[in-house]
Amino acid sequence: MHDERVRGRIPNVCISVGFEAISDAQTKCGLGCNPQATHPPHPPPSQSHPPHITSVHYDGKPGAPLEMTRFGRQFTDQPRVLISDIHRRKAPAYTAATSRNSTSARIKYETPETIRKQGDTFRLRREIEAMEYVRARTSIPVPRVLKTNLGKDDHEEGWILMERLPGDQLGEAWPTMSEGSRLETLHQLKSHLGQLRNIRPDGVGWIGSCSGGPAYDHRLSNMTTCGPFAAVSEFYDFLVHPVKKCPRPELAAEYRRQLPDESSIVFAHADVSWENILVDCASGRVTGIPDWEMAGFWPEWWEYRKAVFGARSKPWWMKILKHIMQEYTREADVDMDLEMF
C-alpha cells in the first residue's frame, strides 16, 4: 500500500489517501499473492488503482481509520463505456460488464442511427426531462428521444431509444484538429454552456431537477437521489454533514464557512467532460452533448467542479476549461476535501 498525505483546506488537517501499489503485471506473475515474493518499487499514484481514504490526521496525529468507501460505495477500476462512445460513428470495442448499473451494461446498439439506453427508471426519466427542457430553451445539440419504456417504480428497469449523434469524442479528436477547428470548438462550447448558465429556476430557486424534483449526481450518490433542496444553504449543509461523523466533527463548521450562501442557482449539465462532447474534427463544430441524467439546477460553481471531477484534471483539459467556463477553484477545492469524508 502506498500512502500519500493530501493537505486539506482546513489548517493542520491532512487526509491520508491509500493507493493499491500492485500493478497488473505484478498480479499476473503472482507478486502480491506470495508474501515471500520480492516486490519492485511502488509505482506512483498516477499508475495505481483508484485511491481510497485510510485515515484523517489532525495536527499530525492519526485519526480513526475510515472505511474504504465514499458515500457508501466502493471505488472500482472497472472499465466503462460512455454514452458518447455509443454516439460516435464507429462503435468502440468494450468488455461487457456484469453490473446492471455500469454504462456498458446499459447501452445497446439498435441501428446505425439509434441507440437504446437501459437503467433505473428514475435516471432515465431525469435524462428525458432534461433533454427536452434544454432543447426547448437552447441551441445545444442533444439526442432526440424516439421511444420510451419506463417502469412504475423509480428503481424498476426501463429503457429509452434515442437518435445516435454524429462526431467524435473531443478527447480523441483534439490532438488531430487544426488550430482553426479548435478555436471553433471552444467558441461553440462557451456559447452552449453560457446558454445553460442563463437558465434560472422560477422564484427563489432550488437545487434539484428542472421540474423541481430531487437532485441526482454520482458525486453525491451513485444509486439514489437527494433533496430537492429549497436553498443553496440547505444543499451546503448536506455536503458538510459527513464531516460531523469524523473524529473532529467541529471541522464541519470550518468547511461550511467556505461555501457562500450567496451562490447563484443556475442550470448545469453536471457531467461536462471530453468524453461527453462530440465534434466534427474538420470544422470544429460541436455535433452533440449527450448524457444528461445529472443535469438540473445547481450552485453556480457545480459545473466547473464536475468538469474537474475524478481523473478529469488533465492539463490539456484544464486549459480548455479556462476558455469555456468560469473557474471556481476555491469551491472546487473545498468540495474535493468534502468528497473524502
- What per-residue confidence (pLDDT) applies to 109? 76
- What per-residue confidence (pLDDT) applies to 51? 38
Phi then psi for residue 118, to 5 deg, are -110, 160
- What per-residue confidence (pLDDT) applies to 136? 97
| Whole-prediction pTM | 0.74
- What per-residue confidence (pLDDT) applies to 100? 38
**Comparing C-alpha atoms, which of 319, 309, 302, 228 is closest to residue 276?**
309
- What per-residue confidence (pLDDT) applies to 127? 97
- The answer as to CATH 3.20.20 being correct for domain 83-205+263-338 is no
- Give ranges for CATH 1.10.510 in the chain: 83-205+263-338
Residue ranges of the chain with per-residue pLDDT less than 50: 1-7, 16-81, 86, 89-102, 104
The CA distance from 268 to 198, in Å, is 10
- What per-residue confidence (pLDDT) applies to 222? 74
- For residue range 164-177, list pLDDT tens digits in order: 999 999 999 999 99
**Comparing C-alpha atoms, which of 267, 254, 262 is closest to residue 338?**
254
**Angle at Cα 10 formed by Cα 8 and Cα 11, nearest 5°?**
100
- What per-residue confidence (pLDDT) applies to 64? 36
